Amino acid sequence: EAAVTQSPRNKVAVTGGKVTLSCNQTNNHNNMYWYRQDTGHGLRLIHYSYGAGSTEKGDIPDGYKASRPSQENFSLILELATPSQTSVYFCASGEVVEQFFGPGTRLTVL
Amino acid sequence: QQKVQQSPESLIVPEGGMASLNCTSSDRNVDYFWWYRQHSGKSPKMLMSIFSNGEKEEGRFTVHLNKASLHTSLHIRDSQPSDSALYLCAASMGYKLTFGTGTSLLVDP
């Protein structure tokens, strides 16, 4: 089965601080995704990538940047974290037929 | 921006009963519909996908799709307590998925 890992699993940040969430996949999938999950909103797409060096804006990109330095790694960067970015963040990789999700990162911004 | 609506928001069924979940997309350019299951504190995992009109069955799970109305439904027969979870419907256009807000299913033993 596809293996997607995320780090850290839990993070507490201060308002205005910089936060980097990391994702690694070992399945050689071209496409990788970052979502956030909040009660009442389901999973919402923040950024995605078609391959190394590419990033695309998803449905809610404001306040987030993404970086895809290699096929395996995809990072989500919050340059100036705000309390509204408190959420659970999921990374996923996959192709047309299926997306495989990582275990999630719980981020709290105080 | 495409919207994916799911109903009901929550559902309680007795063990052994039938659970029926609904999902509709607002965008006619949808390629596939997906159903994911997410147990509490875990990540979503794909249950089934469907892209052509009709029905698809895998074990206790059956998915229906009506492309004309952009409506899909998931039916779980002989529901088990282990089926208690959040069920997420998603619609894809190309490589991008749009998720609904989910139906929370509780199977009462």
Interface size A-B, in CB pairs within 8 Å, comes to 44
Concatenating the DSSP letter of every residue in B6-66 gives EE-SEEEEETT--EEEEEEES-TT--EEEEEEE-TTS--EEEEEE-SSEEEEETTEEEEEE
Top-confidence residue, A65 or A98? A65
Summarised one tens digit per residue, pLDDT across range B9-64 is: 999 999 999 999 999 999 888 888 999 999 999 999 999 999 888 999 999 999 99
B80 has a pLDDT exceeding 60: yes
Summarised one tens digit per residue, pLDDT across range A80-108 is: 999 999 999 999 999 876 889 999 999 99
Chain B residue numbers with beta carbons less than 8 Å from the beta carbon of A98 are 46, 49
Estimate to the nearest angstrom the gap between the alpha carbon of B28 and the chain centroid: 18
Tell me if chain A has a CB within 8 Å of the CB of B3: no
Q: Do A42 and B1 touch (CB under 8 A)?
A: no
The pLDDT, as a whole number, for residue A27 is 87
Chain A residue numbers with beta carbons less than 8 Å from the beta carbon of B1 are 59
A15 has a pLDDT exceeding 70: yes
Helices (H) and strands (E) in chain B, counts: 0, 11
Nearest to B4 by CA among B30, B32, B26, B29: B26
Q: Give which of A99, A100, A105, A106 to mutate to test B binding, by max B Cβ within 10 Å.
A: A99
> Which positions ≥6 away from A82 have C-beta within 8 Å?
A15, A63, A109
Chain B residue numbers with beta carbons less than 8 Å from the beta carbon of A44 are 99
The pLDDT, as a whole number, for residue A5 is 97
Considering only residues 24 to 83 of chain B, which have any Cβ-Cβ distance to chain A shorter than 8 Å? 31-32, 42-46, 49
Q: Name the pLDDT band for A2 (thresholds 50, 70, 90).
A: low
User: Mean pLDDT, to the nearest integer, of A72-77?
Assistant: 98
Question: To 10 degrees, the CA torsion angle through A28, B42, B91, A71?
Answer: -20
Q: Do B95 and A31 touch (CB under 8 A)?
A: yes
Helix (H) or strand (E) holding A104: none
A1 has a pLDDT exceeding 60: no
Chain B's closest residue to A93, CA to CA, is B95
Q: A34 to chain B, minimum CA–CA distance in Å?
A: 11
Q: Which residues partner with B65 through β-bridges?
A: B54, B72
The amino acid present at B81, given as its one-letter code, is P
Average pLDDT, chain A: 94
**Rounded to an integer, what distance in angstroms lies between the CA atom of residue A102 and that of residue A91?**
5
Tell me if chain A has a CB within 8 Å of the CB of B98: yes
Q: Which range among A2-6, A31-35, A44-48, A56-60 shows the weakest confidence by mean pLDDT?
A: A2-6
